[in-house]
Amino acid sequence: MIDPHVHLRDEEQRHKETLQHGLSVAGRLGISGVFDMPNTSPPILRRKDVLRRLKLAKETDSDVFYGLYCGLSANPEQIREATDCVREFASVVGLKLFAGRSTGELAVIDEAEQKRVFRTLAENAYTGVLAVHAESESFFSPASWDPAHPITHTLARPPVAELHAISLLLKMAEESGFGGTLHICHITLPESVNMLENAREKASFRISCGVTPHHLLLNDLMMEESEGLLLKMNPPLRDPQEQAGLLSLLFEDRINWIETDHAPHLRKEKMEAPYASGIPGFPVLPYLIELLRKNGAGEAFIRRITHDNVEEVFGIKLPYREILPVELSGEYEVNAYRNLRGKI
């Protein structure tokens, strides 16, 4: 598998996980490559940040390919430097835009500034992958969030926030003359997939989307159980009908690939303020692959949605390895995985 969406902590977040440990786990699972997100601490925005992070990854001496996204701000000069990094470094696989805040402050939430990002990319003739966290903050309802009732996080970041963001991103990409691939990360709604399929028929740019194991296997009602805070993530878990609908769309080959969104935190960070969002995605992956096989998915299909489609979109060649049924619970007991055991 190639996992094109991970958050491998380290540096100022070494207490959550190190690159050494994350890449070690990925290798034992059978993952041949990971693409790391730029909302690290410190974030990956400039060439110097890229060099620092790639040096840290090289020091792990891992045989897992380490790819890196460069983050985007609303600053045209920074955007140009980021696109240059994609062209200069084979390990910089694309650009990441947070169209809504998630973990950290790396986000461009103003619509006018988002348009500027797309204009600048078009002017720079960028043809690579632009991965986007698609949630419109104008539809957030922070007052709905009550940590005593974790399921309220799904009200604070409702489905309409995702749908509106995707609609807006498609429009901005088209109007700007964007010439790359617009990738919508960790999609959570069947309606979002339908919207992207309809746009793909007439768009002048390429469109892809990915789905996480946790959005396929878990639903919002689980947040009402004991320690539901451990299942807080962005975008949130959805209701059982939407969860089932996503899984059906995956089987219908209408979602490009699986991406884990691996994002470990300490248990204390999840259960106490500020109630961190994100869960470790690596431990959930073998459960999903097992479920797919039990429900009739062939090996060619599994290879396509875990490897080949990623290779095609990113223009990269990596070995294909099957995901192995490795027990990782002990390594992630300090965080959200404890709450996943026995629920999938």
| Tokens coding 189 | 């709604």
Catalytic residue among 36, 110, 261, 308: 261
Q: How far apart are CA 177 and CA 161, in angstroms?
A: 24
| Tokens coding 311 | 């290779």
- Amino acid letter, 303: R
Determine whether 261 is an active site residue. yes
Local structure of residue 262 (DSSP, 8 states): B
CA R_g for the chain: 18
Query: Which H, E and C letters describe 139-173, residue by residue?
Result: HCCHHHCCCCCHHHHHHHCCHHHHHHHHHHHHHHH
User: Is residue 340 within 8 Å of 284, Cβ to Cβ?
Assistant: yes
Nearest to 95 by CA among 63, 127, 134: 127
Phi, psi of 112 (to 5 degrees): -65, -40
User: Is residue 196 within 8 Å of 127, Cβ to Cβ?
Assistant: no
List the strands of the sheet with 65-71, edge to edge. Answer: 2-6, 33-36, 65-71, 92-98, 129-133, 181-184, 206-211, 257-258
Burial of 174 (0-12, 13-18, 19+ CB in 10 A): middle
DSSP H or E segment with residue 340: helix 337-340
Q: How far apart are CA 325 and CA 320, in angstroms?
A: 16
Is the bond preceding 325 in cis, omega lying within 30 degrees of 0? Answer: no
- Amino acid letter, 317: K
Tell me the catalytic residues.
261
